[in-house]
Structure 1
Amino acid sequence: MNVLLVDDSRLARTELRHLLQAFPDVTVVGEARHAAEARTRLQELRPDLLLLDIHMPGETGFELLASLEAAPHVIFTTAYDEYALRAFEVNALDYLLKPVQETRLAAALEKARAKLLAPALAETAAVPVSPVPDEPAPTLLTEHDQVFVKDGERCWFVRLSDIRLFEINGSYTRIYFEQHRPLIPRTLQHLEQRLDPKVFFRANRQQIINLKWIESIEPWFSNTLKIRLRGGPEVEVSRQQSVRFRELMSL
């Protein structure tokens, strides 16, 4: 996978080069300091992926993309979190906040690999058993990752470690963090596939809790458990999951 780095900060480009050395299948084919230089490099190098800053002298990263007839896949790298919604509106694969963490970079690169491999897999499939999915397989997120949450006109960019509870609400899932309770169009099954099981625990059919937000645990009816989370609420753990919880948390 050939990558072009576009950032006006030499230090930021150097740091990205260093992080990318951990991925043998990734080659940094060039760098650009601003949009005009990036356009030239894009024509010369034809990279598979852009690691693109937003704030640069002259034109922004968004303006660069808008000026291109065809663009490679894009992962934004920026020190500002307020552009997350716009980034996903222009179909960016991911949105990484500086300083970029290697775990987040690895997850973003996995999305790029999936996108790049999908056309080749579709062409070589002799007799497809089922339609090729539009989205790659979910990537496991760590508690340090930040996720984009939109509920109506309100948007947040929230760290998973700050989310204490996921709870089914009709066909949506309610997220509990700080004083906020937004709804997202995701099932608990989908979230369970993406969340780190060492941190997030399926307490029952309706709720997933963040283990690091547990304030107290007490025995409950029929050998079950009741857990109070810091900041609320109380969660009743099902009988089967109470057994799993005791096994998980015991020496």
Structure 2
Amino acid sequence: MTTAMIVEDSRLARVELKNLLLQHHDITLLGEYEEPDMAIQAIEQQQPEVLFLDIQLPGKNGFELLDALSYQPAVIFTTAYDHYAVRSFEYDALDYLLKPIEPARLAQALQRVQHRRDNTAPANSKLEANSSVFVKDGEQCWMLELSRVVHFTSVGNYTEVHFDGHRPLIHKSLNQLEARLPEQLFFRANRQQIINIKKIASIDLTIAGNLELVLCDASNVEVSRRHSARFKQLLSL
């Protein structure tokens, strides 16, 4: 089964899409939302595999909603306008469906979802501390040993990889990376950053009592209250 969520401010459009999805028995709808902030909270908590996302929404547009997420679902845009199409694929969208959505086009989009699942499953395996990974940013490419990474930092819908003075952007969320990174080497310090514990140069306390780490590249990373206790437990004798 594939889990899905709808974010659409038009009640009629939500009903029509929901009825179309009912014809696909391998799709489980986790919820439907018309307000972006409520949708962001639900997406982060329930982590649907597929997000059917309108672009023109009240308060935030669809692109701004994606930029606010740390979790990255597969995205199928649903809109009445075709002039957003080029920008939509900057967000690695699986498809771009124009309203009113035709059943055949929806079926085609869902086939793309299944194709991505089939082709990315092997890549979701756990990495080892001595693993090397391929990183591409524009025209630059690296075969990067994980041990060289100082930290990963969330930047909108991307993640910045810090190593050897380089900061390439990859189109992966921190949640996706965290699931694959070796726990003996990497630690989720806060909502925005994962650090290499071997790259910690010093540890201090902030005025608020939180831990502040200085990494070998002089980056300052504050460990959130939520993660401080686990950090102390992990590194204590």
Normalising by structure 1, we get a TM-score of 0.47
| Secondary structure of the corresponding residue to residue 23 of structure 1 | coil
Question: What is the CA–CA distance in structure 2 between the aligned matches of 1:83 and 1:24, rounded to whole Å?
Answer: 30
| Deviation by residue 1:70-122 (Cα, 9 ceiling, x = unmatched) | 31000000000100000011110000000000000000111111112223356
2:36 alignment counterpart? 35
Q: 2:120 is matched by which residue type in structure 1?
A: P
Deviations 1:188-232 (A, max 9, x none): xxxxxxxxxxxxxxxxxxxxxxxxxxxxxxxxxxxxxxxxxxxxx
Q: Which letter maps to 1:105?
A: L
Asked if residue 77 in structure 1 is aligned to residue 78 in structure 2, the reply is yes
Q: Which structure would you say has the larger RCO, counting Cα contacts within 8 Å and 6 or more residues apart? A: 2
In the TM superposition, residue 123 of structure 1 has moved relative to its aligned partner by: 7.2
Q: Give the aligned partner of residue 140 of structure 2.
A: none
Distance 1:93 1:78 in 2: 14
Kindly report the root-mean-square deviation, in angstroms, between the aligned alpha carbons of the 2 structures.
Answer: 1.5
- Per the alignment, residue 135 of structure 2 pairs with none
Q: Give 1:63-212 correspondences, 5 Å limit.
A: 63-121=64-122
Q: How many residues align?
A: 124
In the alignment, structure 2 segments of 5+ residues that lack a partner are 126-237
Return the alpha-carbon distance in structure 2 between the equivalents of residues 123 and 76 of structure 1.
24
SS at match of 2:23: coil
Identity %: 47
Q: Which residue of 2 aligns with 1:129?
A: none
Structure index of larger Rg: 1
Q: Could you tell me which residue of structure 2 aligns to residue 201 of structure 1?
A: none
Instruction: Determine the structure 2 residue equivalent to 1:197.
Output: none
- Quote the residue 1:51 is aligned against: 52
**Counterpart-to-counterpart distance in 1, 2:17 and 2:117:** 21
Task: Structure 1: give runs of 5+ residues left out of the alignment.
Answer: 125-251
Hey, what does 1:11 align to over in structure 2? 12
CA distance in 1, matches of 2:121, 2:96: 26
* Deviation, structure 1 residue 40: 1.3
Give TM-score, length-normalised by structure 2.
0.50
CA distance in 2, matches of 1:6, 1:113: 21
2:58 maps to a residue whose letter is P
CA distance in 2, matches of 1:11, 1:123: 37
